Amino acid sequence: MNNNAKIQSIELNAWFGSKQVLKDINLSVKANAVTAIIGPSGCGKSTYIRTLNRMHELVPNAKMSGKVLLDSQDIYASDVDPVIIRRRVGMVFQKPNPFPTMSIYDNVAAGIRLTGAKKGKNLDEIVERSLEQATLWDEVKEDLKKPGTSISGGQQQRLCIARAIALQPEVILMDEPCSALDPIATAKIERLVVELKSNYTVVIVTHNMQQASRVSDFTAFFYLGALVEFGETNDIFESPKNQLTEKYITGEFG
Amino acid sequence: MLSSYAFRKFKNKLFFFLCLICVVIAVVPLLSILFEVISRGASQLNLQFLTANALQGGIGPAIQGTLIMIGLTSLFGIPVGILSGVYLSEFGNNKYASGIRLVNNVLTQFPSIVIGITAFSLIVIYVTGSYSPLAGAVALSFILIPIVARTTEESLKLVPNSIREASLALGVHKWRTTLSVILPAAGSGLVTGTLIAVARIAGETAPLLFTILGNSFFFQGFNQPMDALPIRIFFDSRQPSAEIQAQAWGAALVLILIVLALNIGVRVASRGRFSR
Amino acid sequence: MTKKITGDSIFKVVIAIIAASALVIFIANAYILTTGSSIVFSRFGLSFLSNTNWNPVEGRESFGVLPYVLGTLVTSGIALLIGVPLSLGIAIFLAEMSPRGVRVPLSYLVELLAAVPSVIYGLWGLFVLRFWMQDYIEIPLNKYLGWIPLFSGTPFGLDIFTAGVILSIMIIPTVASVSREVISAVPNSIREGAYSIGATKWEVIRHWVLSYGRSGIFGAIILGLGRAVGETMAVTMVIGNAIGPNAMPTSFFRPGQTLPSLIANGFIESPTPIEKSAYVGAALVLLLISIIINVLAYFMVTRVLKVKGGAVE
């Protein structure tokens, strides 16, 4: 057990029905750092981060075993409510999914409102702060009442980030957040990711190795459901220890 | 005082049970209907009851009438409905077809008693001059055709275009393609839609009230009123005699068995092709 | 070359003509109803809609459908009030909440409600539901709340309220199945977004799934209303067959009459041409109400579609 770890998985296995998709993953994610998860399609990276905020179990037939410790508390303990975990571990999805039936303001405020906070100065402040942290405030501050889907794809994704941040989670999970975006929007979000780590712990899944080397401090390489290698990003990309890692990095497959 | 979080958890559980209760509340009448029809109707079922005419305390004419109605209506209505659906699906990219589609949709919402009045005026008054199974079949066709046309169009639309293209590329005429390739490919969907429509008209009463009127005796010709199970049930239920009311339950049991048989036929037909 | 074209074009023309059967049916109905009711409308004009009398006696004829229009609206209103919440609960349960094993059998049971013929609902209503309503609902309500006009009268089970209750059961399959389809069509990405900010299952359904599917659900409700308005046999058998000014729906517990039940009860026996014409007039009014409801539904759904910018099925 790593004491610097914000969130770590221990002997984590996951299945969809009888098909096993994750095998014995032991991975410690350091606090206030960006950890990238890379690997070819189907290697289990998305499934992995979904076990970290208990979204995996929402899929019918999904099963898991093992532990996930958030600050040394097992989030899969029987007395733990997934709803609470998801407030502490937020998520941004591959395709931006702002709520279409809500305004930009309401999108950001949604999570807070669930816990009973009423409209008022307090809520306004939280919304502004979250949008600022997501570097979206200046672009939408005149249009807060417009629907969440009325902005561009890149802006929508930053809105989703603001929505997650509004709850002040401890960990932010990002599942290939730029894969549906153009290069300019991608660059903005990459800059944002690096800024976020001062306040949050970030785990980002990406199929783009250059992105991983640009934004992350640590990198984990997954292959066929197993964790092949994990270490500081520079080490992984410049001197990988595992032959498989090297083959992937140099583009021999994947 | 519940904390906000505990209250949210409570609401979550509460609404789960409320929704479950809704399901239970809906199923109770169904079970009650089935129970009452079976328990009150079963005692009526014997050979005499099923084959004798009304004067002898039987529902033979009603059963015969329902079968005749199903037969006559299907004979005319099913081909017309299916071919209409074929037209809408395979040739239907124009204004005329859009109009037909709209009219069909409106027709499926027509109250059935309105159809009864129209069939009465059309056939009983203008054509046969008397209550007639023909009028009843026309009335039921007015209901059957729009439904079958719509379900046929939907089933045919599900057939992948690649099949049409493959057949046409082999040099098969479009009409042949449609009849020999596409219709069979839509097979179970077509059968399902048709059987559901037939089950529906088998149970219809209102269109028959003014067209075949009801009769104590077996079929007497196309110029005479005729009996049918739904009509028999309706009229018998209004009689003051407990004996005759009991017959209504017996007739109801027979009708439900016919309708259920058709509905189960639907299930069997659709299981053959795909399992959901 | 010519042979191929002829074969296909003959086929096309033939089935195009067959497809015109829909037009024939519609025109036949429209024609018969308008000509058949011309006698009563030319005699009474629009007062046919506001009159409450139904007097066929020669020399004193007076016909009006107001009580039956109101009766139709009141019974349908009761049906929606009771049936829609039940249907939504069922749709939500089957689409979002139920464990996999019970989902198929339960949905089949709900579908079976639609397979029961209307006349059998009426039979059950007449001999079973009626007594249950009378003893467990109407008499107690009348006893404690009888001072409210809506609950006044001497309840004996064959009245507007029982008719409304039977209608509510009959619209459940329609409203529930369409609502369920609408709910299932809500994209999963919305649910995931909601779960990811820590919403409970019920919160996801209430704040996101239902609001996204709002217009479709509304369409389902209107479909249910259309069904309730046109329903004939079950209503005829339990509504008590009131006629004339007595049929005005002043209380839940008094016998009443809807447009369909009026026609079912009286058309055959009516001896005079003018009374027959009055029944046809009632049928025309019923048809117009039914068409208006469906057109309303169409416009409401498409208007909401435009506002949402395509965020529907």
Answer yes or no: is pLDDT of C309 > 50: no
C-beta atoms of B203 and C117 within 8 A: yes
- H-only helix segments in C185-272: 188-196, 201-203, 210-212, 214-230, 233-238, 259-266
Whether C64 maps to a domain, the answer reads: no
Q: What is the CATH number of the domain that holds C242?
A: 1.10.3720.10
Q: Is the pLDDT of residue C304 over 80?
A: no
Could you tell me if residue C51 is inside a domain? no
CA atoms B106, B108, B113, B116: torsion sign = positive
Task: Give the pLDDT band (50/70/90) at residue B57.
Answer: confident
- Calculate mean pLDDT across residues C156-160: 91
Which residues lie below 8 Å from residue A20, measured CB to CB, with a gap of 6+?
A13, A14, A225
* Minimum Cα–Cα distance from C308: chain A residue: A101
The domain in which residue C122 lies consists of 71-274+288-308
- Give the mean pLDDT of C249-258: 92
B265 vs B86, residue with greater confidence: B86
Cα distance from A80 to chain B (closest Cα, Å)?
Answer: 13
Nearest to B204 by CA among B118, B140, B275, B110: B140
Q: How far is Cα C70 from Cα C76, in angstroms, rounded to an integer?
A: 10
Domain extent for B250: 59-273
Q: What DSSP assignment string belongs to A123-153? A: HHHHHHHHHHHTT-HHHHTT-TTSBTTSS-H
Pairing of strands A201-205, A171-175: parallel
Spell out a b/e string for A215-234, using b for 16 or more CB atoms within 10 Å of the CB, else e.
bbbbbbbbbebebbbbbebe
pLDDT at C78: 96
Q: How far is it, in rounded angstroms, from Cα B62 to Cα B247?
A: 11
User: Mean of the pLDDT values across residues C243-272?
Assistant: 91
The b/e string for C21-52 (b: 16+ C-beta within 10 A; e otherwise) is bbeebbebbeebbeebbebbbeebeeebeebb
Residue C307: per-residue pLDDT: 44
Residue A67 touches chain C, beta carbons under 8 Å:
no
Query: What pLDDT is stored for residue B48 in this prediction?
Result: 85
pLDDT at residue B145 in the model: 96
Helices B242-273 and B187-202 cross at an angle (nearest 10°) of 170
The encoded tokens of residue A53 equal 């905020």
- Give residues 89 to 108 of B whose Cβ lies within 8 Å of A: none
Non-local (6+) Cβ contacts of A214 within 8 A are A190
How far, in whole angstroms, is CA A84 from its chain's centroid? 17
Burial class (CB in 10 A: 0-12, 13-18, 19+), B227: buried
**What integer pLDDT is reported at residue A3 of this predicted model?**
65
Mean pLDDT of A27-53: 94
For B265, half-sphere exposure in the C-beta direction (CA atoms, 13 angstrom radius) is: 16
Number of domains in chain C: 1
Residues B195-224 pLDDT 10s: 999 999 999 999 999 999 888 888 888 888
Q: What is the pLDDT, as a whole number, of residue C147?
A: 85
Q: Round the average pLDDT of chain B to a whole number and report it.
A: 89
> In terms of CA atoms, which chain A residue is nearest residue B5?
A115
Amino acid at C210: L
pLDDT (tens digit per residue) in A110-136: 999 888 766 667 889 999 999 999 999
**Superfamily designation of domain A5-249:** P-loop containing nucleotide triphosphate hydrolases (3.40.50.300)
- Per the CB < 8 Å rule, is B230 touching C233? yes
Mutation target among C6, C25, C82 for the B interface, most CBs of B within 10 A: C25
Angle, helices B4-42/C100-115, rounded to nearest 10 degrees: 50
Asked if B4 reaches chain A (Cβ–Cβ under 8 Å), the answer is yes
Whole-number pLDDT of residue C313: 31
Residues 6+ apart with CB under 8 A from A235: none
3-state secondary structure of A90: strand
Contact B193, B152 (CB under 8 A): yes
Mean pLDDT over the full length of chain A: 92
What's the mean pLDDT in A16-33?
Answer: 94
pLDDT of C215 higher than 60: yes
Rounded to an integer, the average pLDDT of C145-158 is: 86
Instruction: Check pLDDT > 90 for residue C173.
Output: yes
Q: Which residues between 59 and 78 in chain C have a beta carbon less than 8 angstroms from any beta carbon of chain B? A: none
- Provide the pLDDT confidence category of residue B276 given band limits of 50, 70 and 90: very low
Burial of A1 from C-beta contacts in 10 A (0-12 / 13-18 / 19+):
exposed
- pLDDT above 50 for C312: no
What is the token pair recorded at A196? 């976020």
Q: Is the pLDDT of residue C19 over 80?
A: yes
Q: Which amino acid is at A242?
A: N
Within a domain: C132: yes
The CATH number covering residue B107 comes to 1.10.3720.10
Q: Please check whether residue C144 lies inside any domain of the structure.
A: yes
Distance CA C159, CA C270 (A): 23
Q: What single-letter amino acid sits at C107?
A: S
Mutual orientation of helices B242-273 and B60-90 as an angle, nearest 10°?
A: 30
Mean pLDDT to the nearest integer, B170-186:
84
Longest dimension (CA), chain A: 57
- Assembly ipTM: 0.92
Check CB contact of B8 with chain A, cutoff 8 Å.
yes
pLDDT digit string (tens) for A159-218?
Answer: 999 999 999 999 999 999 999 999 999 999 999 999 999 999 999 999 999 999 999 999
Q: Do B23 and C94 touch (CB under 8 A)?
A: yes
**pLDDT tier, B272 (very low <50, low <70, confident <90, very high otherwise):** low
B7 assigned to some structural domain = no
* B9 in A contact zone (CB under 8 Å): yes
Is B204 a domain residue?
Answer: yes
User: What is the number of CB-based contacts under 8 A between chain B and chain C?
Assistant: 239
Cα A1 versus chain centre, distance: 22
Residue C157 resides in a domain: yes
Average pLDDT over residues C172-187: 91
What pLDDT is stored for residue B47 in this prediction? 86
C-beta atoms of C311 and A97 within 8 A: no
- Which range has the worst mean pLDDT, B76-85, B90-99, C23-32, C224-233? B90-99
C87 compared with C305, residue with greater pLDDT: C87
- Amino acid symbol at C198: G
Burial letters C269-296, b for 16+ CB under 10 A, else e: eeeeeebbbbbbbbbbbbbebbeebbee
Mean pLDDT of C160-182: 94
**CA nearest C236 in B: which residue?**
B234
> Contacts of residue B9 in chain A, CB cutoff 8 Å?
81, 83
Of A8-22, A120-134, C298-312, where does mean pLDDT reach its minimum? C298-312
- State the pLDDT confidence band at C70, using cuts at 50, 70 and 90: very high
State both tokens at C132: 């249950």
3-state secondary structure of B45: coil
Beta strand A218-223 with A34-38 is parallel
* Residue ranges covered by each domain of chain A: 5-249
C11 contacts in chain B (CB < 8 Å): 174-175, 178
Selected for mutation to probe chain A from C196, C202, C304 (highest A CB count within 10 Å) is C196
More confident residue, C149 or B254: B254
Q: What phi, psi does A213 have (nearest 5°)?
A: -70, -25
**Residue whose entry in the numeric block shows the structure tokens 């098909």:** A19
Q: What mean pLDDT value characterizes chain C?
A: 89
A183 at the B interface (CB within 8 A)?
no
Task: Report the percent of chain C where pLDDT is more than 70.
Answer: 93
Residue B62 to residue B217: CA distance in whole angstroms: 9
The reply to whether C7 falls in a domain is no
Contact C115 B199 (CB under 8 A): yes
| Average pLDDT, integer, range C17-36 | 93
d(Cα C191, Cα A97) in Å, to the nearest integer?
Answer: 10
**Alpha carbons C9 and C16: distance in angstroms, whole number:** 10
Euclidean distance between CA atoms C95 and C184, whole angstroms? 6
- Walk across the sheet containing A226-232 and list its strands: A89-92, A171-175, A201-205, A34-38, A218-223, A226-232
Give the per-residue pLDDT at C26: 94
Chain B contact set for C136 (CB, 8 A): none
